[in-house]
Every structure is written in structure tokens, then in C-alpha cells.
Amino acid sequence: MTQHFIVIGNPIAHSKSPEIHQTFAAQVGIDISYRRQYCPDDVASFDAVVAAFFNGGGVGANVTVPFKQLAYALCKSQGRLSEHARVAGAVNTLLLTGDGSPKDKTLYGDNTDGQGLVNHITSLGWTLTNARIAIIGAGGAARGVILPLIQAGIGQLTLANRTLSKAQVLVDELSAASNTINEHAVETCATTELTGTFDLIINATSIGLSGDTLPIAEDLNCHYAYDMMYGRALPFLQHFAARGAQTSDGYGMLIGQAALSFERWTAHTIDVTQATSAIQASKKR
């Protein structure tokens, strides 16, 4: 029997999720339909789309820009949240949980973005244990990855942002939401004040493909540089590659978060390396 999935966003035509999830389904040998679901950008429309999908027998939904916070609010008021979703204040994965009876179905929101990042970094062979890490950016992208990184056993974490006060507010909010983060004592600074050598620097700003460049101090260095964006050449990665760092864009994070969603929905385990090769091979054809 075909299992039905959607990704809800606005805009949504560009989403790569259908091809990624079809590759997963082929790998584990199940029959799925996975479609892009456009939704007007308002609460009532979003809630109605989610309700219609699950009432119609849908198994799982991904949620992307700009609806991750609305999905969080919906699960908070009408369902349940995973710890990662609760702390991130954002949901990218929706499913129904319950005892299996048709009447006992509760909406459940998870957030697999941060664990997708951790899994990708680990698969690159970059060590997170005790690593000295800086994240640049204090928006939604940074918010979603801080708890999973700390849970992965990193050492010191510095959160840098153009607007220092936003970094401080984010750390305060996250510390209030999670003892794990509170106990880790995340440091903050202005991006221009970020100096020294880190094991890993992660670009979590939205600057990626805008053509703007981050103001990076001359004496800021790292062994590994990761940009959560993907697509064409990213100036942040070019900067640190020229200084001898290993670099990666966020394409592997996209596949990694998708794999975790798929695993939550279907209870199948995905070989992410094999799936990534299959997706790349299909693009070349």
C-alpha cells in the first residue's frame, strides 16, 4: 500500500525533498508518494493543510520555510513535541503518534535539522568530541543546532552574531529551555570580535547566496568550516579553504535531516552515504 508524505512550504516548487525521499524509499523497498504542498502564509491555512493531510490518511509531513514556527505552535497547543523541537521552537517533521487505534492519534512534532547536521559532520570524519566550536548567526538556523551539537559532546561553544544582543537573547532563551545548554555556558560575541583558532566554525547566517560577505577578523582560523547553506560557491567556505581548512556546504545536512524524518515515519534505517551517491548519480543522468 502506498504511504503518503508531503513537504509544506511557501515557496515550495524548488524543494528537493520529493527526490530525496523517493531515493530512500527505493533503498528500503517501500512504495511512497511524496509531494510538494504549497500553503498560503497564514496560521489558519497552515493548520487546515495539516489537518486535511492527516485526516486523509497521510503518514508524515516535512515543514519548511516559513512554517516551522507555526508547526511548533500547532504541536504545542494540540499535540506533542520532541525535546529538539521544543528547544528549537521549530518543527520540521510531523507525524501522528498513538496506541495504534484510529481514535488515539496525536500530532507529534520533531526537529531533525540539528541532528542531521551532527550526523553529516560526523560522516565527514570531523571530530565533535571536545571540539572548540564557533557558530556565526543567531537566527532560526543557529537555534536548531545548538542542543544537538552540545549533546554530541562538543567542548567550548561560542555564538557570534552581527547583532550581539540577538546572540545573547538566543543563549538566554535556550538556557532557560534546556538544562543541557544552561550547563554548557555558551559564550557570545560580535562576529567582528570572533578571533583565534577553532576546530570548527559553522556559518548559520542567511548570508549564504546573497553575494554579501561576512565581516571575518583577519586572525580568525579553523580546521573545519561548515556552511549550512548549499548551492554554488560560498564565500565563507572559500575564505577558510584558502587558509587551509577543510570545508563543507550544507547539502549533506539536507539529506541527513531528511533521512531522520524518513526513519521516524517508517521505522526503516537509511544508509545516508549510499542515498547521497544515488541522488548525485541521478542528477548526472
Q: Is the Cβ–Cβ distance between 105 and 97 less than 8 Å?
A: yes
First vs last C-alpha separation in the chain: 29
Least CB distance to ligand ATR at residue 164 (A): 8
For 99, the grid coordinates are: 496506541
Query: Taking CB under 6 A as the rule, which mask of x and - marks residues 158-197 in contact with ligand ATR?
Result: ---xxx--x-------------------------------
Residues 6+ apart with CB under 8 A from 283: none
Q: Is the Cβ–Cβ distance between 144 and 119 less than 8 Å?
A: no
β-pairing, 106-110 vs 220-227, is unpaired
For 140, the grid coordinates are: 532560526
Residue 196: beta bridge partners?
220
Q: Identify the residue among 172, 193, 212, 271 touching ligand ATR (CB under 6 A).
A: 212
User: What DSSP character marks residue 249?
Assistant: -
User: Closest CB to ligand ATR among 195 and 206?
Assistant: 206
User: Closest CB to ligand ATR among 59 and 88?
Assistant: 88
Q: Identify the residue among 25, 81, 117, 141 touching ligand ATR (CB under 6 A).
A: 141
Q: Identify the residue among 40, 139, 155, 196 touching ligand ATR (CB under 6 A).
A: 139
Least CB distance to ligand ATR at residue 93 (A): 18
Q: Identify the residue among 8, 70, 152, 214 touching ligand ATR (CB under 6 A).
A: 214
Q: Identify the residue among 117, 138, 149, 260 touching ligand ATR (CB under 6 A).
A: 138
Residue 32: beta bridge partners?
3
User: Closest CB to ligand ATR among 207 and 275?
Assistant: 207
Radius of gyration, alpha carbons of the chain? 19
Alpha-carbon distances, residue 53 vs 56, 77, 105 (angstroms): 5, 18, 13
CA angle 252, 187, 159 (to 5 degrees): 35
Q: Is the Cβ–Cβ distance between 157 and 135 less than 8 Å?
A: yes
Least CB distance to ligand ATR at residue 236 (A): 10
The residue to which cell 535556550 is assigned: 174
For 179, the grid coordinates are: 538544562
User: Closest CB to ligand ATR among 32 and 201?
Assistant: 201
For 110, the grid coordinates are: 520533531
Footprint (CB under 6 A) of ligand ATR, residues 228-247? none
Using CA atoms, how far apart are residues 171 and 189, in angstroms rounded to an integer? Answer: 11
Least CB distance to ligand ATR at residue 125 (A): 28
- Whether 16 is catalytic: no
User: Closest CB to ligand ATR among 39 and 138?
Assistant: 138
The residue annotated as part of the active site, out of 16, 68, 166, 283, is 68
User: Closest CB to ligand ATR among 27 and 92?
Assistant: 92
Work out whether 58 is an interface residue with ligand ATR (CB under 6 A). no
Least CB distance to ligand ATR at residue 129 (A): 27
Least CB distance to ligand ATR at residue 64 (A): 12
Binding residues vs ligand ATR (CB under 6 A):
137-141, 161-163, 166, 205-207, 212, 214
The residues carrying an active-site annotation are 68
